[in-house]
Each structure stands twice: as structure tokens, then as C-alpha cells.
Structure 1
Amino acid sequence: MKILKITLLIIQTFFVISPLPAGAGEIQEVMPSTMVLSHAVMCESIEDFKPRNPAIVFSIDLGKVFCFTTFKQITETTRIYHKWFQRNRLVSQKKLTLKPPQWSTISSMQLRMADRGPWYVEITDKDDTLLQRLRFSISD
């Protein structure tokens, strides 16, 4: 019995005194693994790389409509997509590049008389995950 107590005391002492492996017990900062879509808007124009006149209804007379997006917490160069739909039919898909740590990007659609009606743009990541849907209309 005495030998068992001594053995247990030696084992407990070894585990309490022995150093931890390198890095064990340290708090390490972990970078977010996913980017964040921080701003998305449809607008009439882009000036100085900023959206101008954001809206949800646009006149056909503008001739063009823009989708503006800003992403934060980008950890590596990656791609996103702006998918333009008219009446639930995919009209155009724009592949856009994002670079760390923050990036804004735009796409646009040239308007024709037949483009009046409901539209939306789906903003998706490289894995086709929907990040946001922006609905808007083209009117006279």
C-alpha cells in the first residue's frame, strides 16, 4: 500500500511539474474564415468608386444600372459573382475578383427598351452560396 501511494505521488508530481508542449495553453488569434458582405446597393452611377443615387426603381432612360458591393475580412484573393436576373431568368453573370483585406467591386447592365419590369441581382461567393439578393425595377 505504501509503495502504491509513493508511486501515485511520483506520477502526480511528474504531470504537475512537467512543461506543456510548445504552444499548448496559449491563446491564439484565429482569423475569420469567411469574408463579410458589408454593403450592397443598386445605383444609377458610380463616381469616385462610390455608388450614386441608390434606388429600387430606375428609369429606362438611364441606359445603365449598377450593382455596387463592398466586402470586409477577406483573407485571400477570391471570386464572387453578380448574377443579373430579369423576371426570374438569368440574363448575365459577372465574375469579379476580391483582394484582402477589404475590396469593393461593381457590375452593370446596359438597358434596352425590352428590359422594363422586375429584376434582381444575386451576389454569390465562389461556391455559389447566396450572400444577398437585391431587387429592383426598370420603368419608363
Structure 2
Amino acid sequence: MSNPWIAIGALALVGVLIPLGMMSVSALLRPSVPEDSKRASYESGEVPTGNTRIRFNIQYYMVALLFVVFDIETVLIFPWTVIYGDAVDAVGLGPALLPMVAFIGILAVGLAWAWRNGAVRWIRSPRAQQELTE
């Protein structure tokens, strides 16, 4: 009888040796031409203009995070609805419905908190505000 840890150890060894071997071969084969343009912030050959720090509106990220949260909610609710009928038959209405109500309640509290703190409120630009008042 063979020990299953031998297979796991061999797989781990292969998993370490293949990337190390690839990096070693690429280090030996790649051309080494040191240039000032390769040390620049942008290697494209273009001369950078202006500041590299650009201010982004955090609102895009907040909306994206909320989308991910509610997208995952949809992914979790769909299978639950598929097995809901079987679960009601097996354990009854309360035990089958309570976990999903709690899950949706927690998400509703999170959405209310985000709404209250302005995470879903868009900030209007001065130009858009001016066009709105005209």
C-alpha cells in the first residue's frame, strides 16, 4: 500500500519546481539591454507629462462594491428558491424561510447604512449643476 502523502508531496514539489524552472530558463534566455527608458515610470517610450497621481471619484468604486454584494445575493437566492419547495416539505415553513429572511434583512440593513452615509449618492459636477439650474 502506498502512502497518500507521497503523492501530495510529489505534487507540491512539481508545483514549486515548474515555476522556478520557468523563471530560471527565462532569466538565462532573455536579452539584457539596460536603457534609461526601461527604468522610466512608463516603458512605452512616451515622455510622461503631468502628475502621475490622478484623483478618481470614489463613487465608482462604491457602486461597484454594492453591485458585487447584490450580485452575490442573487447568486445565493436563486438556488435557495429552487430547493425551497423541498425544504418546506421536509422541515416546515419557518425553518425553511427564516435563514433567507435573515440574509435579506442583513443585506437591507447594509444597503440602508450605505444609503444613509451617501455611498449611492452621485455628486454633480459644477457644469451639470449649472445646466440643471438654467
- Whether TM-score is above 0.5 comes out as no
Larger relative helix fraction: 2
- Taking structure 1 as the reference length, the TM-score comes to 0.23
- Taking structure 2 as the reference length, the TM-score comes to 0.23
Larger relative strand fraction: 1
